[in-house]
């Protein structure tokens, strides 16, 4: 019989959290906790470094596969279903799991740990015992059955945490001999020797074990020998999963430039195969029979992230973890990198409660009692004019088994009748960590109505439709996904609506929920909310027209295969994927800008967040420094009749050769637009900028990466002076921005090295006393906790007068006072005389100063000169204090009067 698989293909996008919990805690069955909302910290899939966390705790759920007391777990009916009677193996008695044995299959030699014979503390270091899961209460004995073939595993006692120093091992997992590249057991203390994270998951220190694959190694090509350029770690043989399926749980970490991806594969095994025969059988392995269950491509930035996948399979099989490096011809392969995995386990599918294949029930979902009828289960439609002929995985893999959930639109249903399938209750999501729900849907028939995904607010009993699609979509399964975010407790609802006639069955299958933002798909289901994968079109995002004079060039939607970099899109990770890129014209001009603007978004008091993936790569750095350009995100709105352009996210120049994750807060009470602005650097610059997978969701999120944070005072002067204003009374002497026709001493821009893009003052007035010119920032809000901020900037001196000075002062600002009384006395915090600079040739130099932020305030940049001046560029603020730079820029502490 043809092997049958149900699988989920999930790419996890996690964000670090201070108190991570596994996905298995995300969604528990009603029978276990009927009124308990899922805690917020149970929804996080990232485990950060821990210095003081104990190895175990009484309620620790982050160790996948750990046995739980009887009252906390599903009983035998939720275990994997047995095979047919004639080949049904089972243990004679249930016992508590034993510690996994050392691998029996031959494995390549693993490098010995470096010995340090004279290190005095090594002998005193205690060996950490592995945590022992609590014993399962004894159950009534089952009838005797034939014993299971050698090497076959059950869902019991198969957690592998790879041990602890000095006893680290691969447990019952073994390397396939079809490749020279190998996984090896290691630990955090080897992180800078063999590669891998500095801490493991189980113990949270450098002594705990994990498996690691160092991705920069290149195997030697041999004739007739193993030539796979990946490392494969295979489990022992496993039995059929039964209809309820099996959950594979694990933690993974990816770092460096040479890894490509991590995959979880399912490999069928013959019925008569034993562990002793595996090595011989795998000699002819070519991967053609394998099914990809799961994969991840994005770096985890030093964190551990949790992965889970539920699958069903109707024969014996093994699971393979495959670490894949970039191609050996790729220059990135020369750089060190690693893929690490920890805490591998197999568990009952109920422990991954957010997943559902609808082959053994409706999992943790329930029928809403307030609708018109219920969702039903089926293996295939009884009417060829509507409904799927088979479930999603059977449809894709020509399998013979499988089920799905559907709404039956036949009698006695009437147009407009609704059926609602409701999840358990979730607590409000973390503002930085929305959920991503993926599922498959089939909508075929002349009378198809609508399928909606709804957020049901538990506090207010209100529905909010976040995904909707209507009408016939062809006799095929399509994958849908939608970001899920809510500040208050909620439930997720699938609502099927009957159409105009009885040929309107709507089916869903293979539901999964993971952590991280994802754009709504298909794009037609997203409506007008701004989500976009760019696989079909631009989703309503547009380039401004020539008459608007907002930019000089346009963003272009393009397929990855037509570009040198990025070579793959982020959505599907192939050369056939699409993204938006910033093109280069036949004549490259520094400062050319391209705007990409959303549809109008409705204002709201609820905080909103925009998430996206960006690519900013400069393969060849100019001797004068990076000059790729910048990527910025603005919120544009009308206030008091004036147009306001507020930057909320900004990065400049080279960021690396990979897709990177970014997010920023974009909320506004009034209707607003979101605009991405890409700016090319100098004409000598080279490189690539691209944008993909835009998602908008509810949440008061943080700015990521942190270095992309902006404030009202930030300015690189590429477009104008931002919100900085002259407050000098003398109109003959002012701060101004550089232009092609007027700039001091041909000084280049610091940001990109172009001819313009900075502010300066230049005074020639030898007969008079030095002039004082003041440049004032927009009002700055005090910090939430009263901590100081750090103001950084670049400055350059030019001229012949040693009396020229540059000063920075801070003044208290009262935004509730009348306009002429808003500011107070200015306190000098930074001061530099031209005589102390040490050079007469204009050169950009770095300055910074700590600014008190316990009250609202403004900053003043004050220049004084009779024959000379200063230029200033790249003003930026950061949270936290900092030391004075340069050290001789010591202020006098005097109060200065703003002119």
Q: Which residue in 690, 505, 521, 539 sits closest to 616, CA to CA?
A: 690
Q: Which residue stretches of 227-274 are H helix?
A: none
Eight-class DSSP state of 351: G
Q: How far apart are the first and last CA of the chain?
A: 89
Burial of 557 (0-12, 13-18, 19+ CB in 10 A): middle
pLDDT above 60: residue 214: yes
Q: Which residue in 802, 793, 777 sits closest to 859, CA to CA?
A: 777
Eight-class DSSP state of 532: B
Tell me the per-residue pLDDT of 838-874, one tens digit each, with 9 for 90 and over.
Answer: 666 788 999 999 999 999 999 999 998 888 889 999 9
> Is the pLDDT higher at 690 or at 132?
690
Q: Which residue in 859, 885, 552, 862 sits closest to 715, CA to CA?
A: 859
pLDDT above 80: residue 112: no
Provide the pLDDT confidence category of residue 893 given band limits of 50, 70 and 90: low
Q: Which two tokens stand for residue 284?
A: 């002819």
Q: Which residue in 849, 852, 850 sits closest to 786, CA to CA?
A: 852
Provide the pLDDT confidence category of residue 14 given band limits of 50, 70 and 90: very low
For residue 757, the model assigns a pLDDT of 87
Eight-class DSSP state of 841: S
Distance CA 394, CA 6 (A): 8
pLDDT above 90: residue 133: no
For residue 22, the model assigns a pLDDT of 45
Q: Which residue in 781, 819, 555, 533 sits closest to 689, CA to CA?
A: 555
Residues 202, 262 contacting (CB under 8 angstroms)? no
Distance CA 386, CA 444 (A): 5
- The percentage of residues in the chain with a pLDDT greater than 70, rounded to a whole number, is 76
For residue 96, the model assigns a pLDDT of 38
Average pLDDT over every residue of 215-223 = 83
For residue 513, the cross-strand partners are 437
pLDDT above 70: residue 586: no
Q: Which two tokens stand for residue 92?
A: 């004679």
CA of residue 361 relative to chain centroid, distance: 32
Q: Which two tokens stand for residue 41?
A: 């910290």
For residue 144, the model assigns a pLDDT of 41
pLDDT above 50: residue 510: yes
For residue 121, the model assigns a pLDDT of 43
Regarding beta strands 759-764 and 845-851, do their DSSP bridges make them parallel or antiparallel, or are they unpaired?
A: unpaired
Residues 206, 188 contacting (CB under 8 angstroms)? yes
pLDDT above 60: residue 26: no
Regarding beta strands 462-470 and 450-457, do their DSSP bridges make them parallel or antiparallel, or are they unpaired?
A: antiparallel
What is the SS3 assignment for 792? strand
- The percentage of residues in the chain with a pLDDT greater than 90, rounded to a whole number, is 47
Tell me the per-residue pLDDT of 292-315, one tens digit each, with 9 for 90 and over.
Answer: 999 999 998 889 998 999 888 888
Average pLDDT, the chain: 80
CB atoms within 10 A of CB 463: 14
> Is the pLDDT higher at 624 or at 388?
388
Tell me the per-residue pLDDT of 172-184, one tens digit each, with 9 for 90 and over.
Answer: 999 988 888 999 9
What is the SS3 assignment for 428? coil
What is the SS3 assignment for 121? coil
Residues 349, 245 contacting (CB under 8 angstroms)? yes
Distance CA 863, CA 381 (A): 80
List, in order, residues 6 or more apart from 716 with CB less than 8 Å away: 630, 652, 751, 757, 873, 874, 875
Distance CA 642, CA 233 (A): 62
Average pLDDT over every residue of 814-830 = 76
CB atoms within 10 A of CB 839: 10
For residue 320, the model assigns a pLDDT of 96
Provide the pLDDT confidence category of residue 732 given band limits of 50, 70 and 90: low
673-680 β-sheet, strand order? 553-554, 593-597, 673-680, 629-639, 642-652
Distances (CA, A) of 11 to 516, 571, 640: 9, 10, 45
Cis ω before 211 (30° cut-off from 0): no
For residue 452, the model assigns a pLDDT of 96
Q: Which two tokens stand for residue 349?
A: 């599918």
Q: Which residue in 142, 187, 196 sits closest to 169, CA to CA?
A: 187
Tell me the per-residue pLDDT of 740-795, one tens digit each, with 9 for 90 and over.
Answer: 888 887 888 888 887 888 999 888 765 566 678 899 999 999 998 889 999 999 99
Tell me the per-residue pLDDT of 445-460, one tens digit each, with 9 for 90 and over.
Answer: 999 999 999 999 999 9
Average pLDDT over every residue of 633-640 = 90
């Amino acid at each position: 019989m043809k092997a049958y698989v149900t699988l989920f293909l999930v790419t996890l996008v996690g964000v670090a959290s201070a108190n991570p919990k596994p996905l298995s805690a995300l969604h528990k069955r009603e029978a276990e906790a009927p009124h308990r909302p899922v805690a917020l910290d149970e929804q996080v899939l990232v485990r950060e470094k821990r210095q003081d966390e104990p190895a175990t705790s009484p309620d620790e759920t982050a160790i996948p596969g750990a046995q739980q007391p009887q009252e906390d777990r599903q009983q035998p009916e939720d275990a994997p279903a047995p095979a047919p009677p004639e080949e049904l193996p089972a243990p004679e008695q249930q016992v508590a799991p034993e510690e996994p044995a050392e691998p029996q299959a031959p494995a390549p030699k693993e490098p010995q740990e470096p010995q340090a014979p004279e290190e005095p503390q090594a002998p005193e270091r205690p060996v950490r015992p592995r945590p022992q899961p609590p014993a399962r209460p004894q159950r009534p004995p089952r009838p005797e059955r034939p014993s299971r073939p050698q090497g076959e595993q059950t869902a019991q006692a198969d957690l592998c945490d790879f041990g602890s120093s000095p006893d680290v091992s691969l447990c019952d997992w073994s390397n396939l001999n079809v490749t020279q590249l190998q996984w090896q057991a290691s630990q955090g203390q080897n992180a800078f020797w063999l590669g891998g994270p500095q801490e493991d998951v189980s113990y949270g220190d450098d002594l705990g074990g994990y498996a690691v694959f160092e991705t920069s190694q290149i195997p030697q090509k041999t004739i007739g020998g193993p030539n796979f350029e990946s490392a494969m770690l295979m489990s022992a043989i496993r039995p059929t999963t039964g209809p309820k399926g099996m959950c594979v749980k694990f933690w993974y970490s990816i770092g460096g430039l040479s890894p490509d991806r991590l995959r979880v594969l399912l490999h069928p095994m013959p019925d008569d195969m034993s562990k002793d025969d595996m090595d011989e059988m795998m000699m002819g392995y070519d991967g053609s029979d394998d099914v990809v269950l799961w994969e991840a491509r994005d770096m985890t930035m030093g964190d551990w992230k949790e992965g889970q996948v539920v699958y069903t399979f109707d024969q014996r099989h093994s699971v393979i973890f495959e670490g894949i490096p970039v191609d050996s011809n790729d220059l990135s392969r020369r750089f060190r990198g690693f893929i690490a995995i920890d805490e591998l386990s197999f568990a009952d599918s109920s422990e991954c409660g957010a997943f559902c294949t609808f082959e053994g029930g409706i999992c943790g979902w329930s029928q809403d009692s307030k609708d018109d009828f219920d969702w039903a289960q089926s293996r295939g439609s009884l009417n060829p004019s509507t409904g799927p002929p088979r479930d999603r995985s059977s449809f894709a893999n020509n399998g013979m088994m499988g089920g799905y959930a559907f709404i039956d639109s036949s009698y006695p249903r009437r147009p407009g009748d609704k059926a609602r399938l409701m999840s358990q209750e979730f607590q409000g999501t973390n503002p930085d960590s929305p959920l991503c729900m993926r599922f498959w849907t089939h909508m075929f028939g002349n009378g198809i109505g609508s399928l909606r995904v709804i957020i049901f607010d538990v506090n207010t009993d209100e529905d909010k439709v976040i995904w909707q699609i209507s009408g016939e979509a062809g006799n095929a399964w399509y994958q849908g996904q939608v970001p899920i975010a809510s500040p208050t407790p909620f439930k997720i609802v699938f609502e099927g609506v009957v159409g105009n006639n009885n040929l309107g069955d709507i089916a869903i299958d293979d539901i999964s929920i993971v952590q991280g933002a994802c754009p709504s798909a298909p794009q037609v289901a997203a409506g007008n909310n701004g989500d976009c994968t760019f696989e079909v079109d631009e989703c309503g995002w547009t380039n401004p027209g020539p008459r608007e004079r907002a930019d000089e060039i346009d963003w272009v939607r393009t397929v990855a295969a037509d570009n040198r970099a990025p070579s793959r899109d982020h959505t599907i990770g192939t050369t056939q994927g699409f993204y938006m890129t910033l093109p280069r014209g036949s004549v490259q001009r520094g400062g050319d800008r391209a705007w990409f603007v959303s549809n109008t978004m409705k204002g709201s008091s609820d905080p909103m967040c925009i998430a996206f993936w960006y690519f900013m790569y400069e393969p060849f750095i100019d001797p004068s420094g990076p000059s790729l350009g910048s990527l910025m995100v603005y919120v544009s709105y009308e206030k008091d009749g004036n147009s306001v352009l507020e930057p909320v996210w900004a990065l400049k120049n080279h960021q690396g050769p990979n897709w990177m994750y970014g997010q920023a807060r974009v909320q506004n009470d009034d209707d607003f637009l979101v605009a991405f602005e890409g700016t090319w650097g100098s004409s000598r610059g080279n490189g690539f900028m691209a944008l993909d997978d835009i998602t908008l969701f509810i949440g008061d999120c943080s700015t990521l990466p942190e270095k992309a944070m902006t404030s009202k005072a930030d300015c690189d002067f590429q477009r104008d002076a931002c919100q900085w204003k002259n407050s000098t009374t003398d109109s003959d002497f002012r701060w101004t921005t550089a232009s092609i026709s007027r700039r001091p001493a041909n000084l280049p821009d610091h940001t990109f090295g172009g001819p313009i893009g900075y502010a300066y003052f230049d005074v020639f007035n030898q007969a008079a006393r030095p002039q004082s010119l003041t440049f004032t920032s927009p009002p700055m809000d005090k910090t939430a906790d009263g901590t100081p901020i750090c103001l950084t900037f670049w400055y350059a001196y030019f001229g012949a007068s040693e009396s020229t000075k540059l000063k920075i002062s801070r003044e208290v600002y009262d935004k509730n006072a009348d306009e002429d009384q808003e500011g107070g006395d200015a306190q000098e915090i930074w001061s530099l005389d031209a005589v102390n600079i040490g050079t007469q040739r204009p050169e950009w130099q770095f300055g910074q100063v700590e600014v008190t932020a316990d009250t609202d305030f403004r900053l003043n940049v004050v220049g004084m000169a009779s024959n000379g001046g200063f230029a200033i560029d790249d003003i930026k603020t950061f949270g936290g204090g900092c030391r004075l730079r340069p050290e001789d820029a010591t202020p006098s502490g005097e109060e200065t009067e703003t002119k």
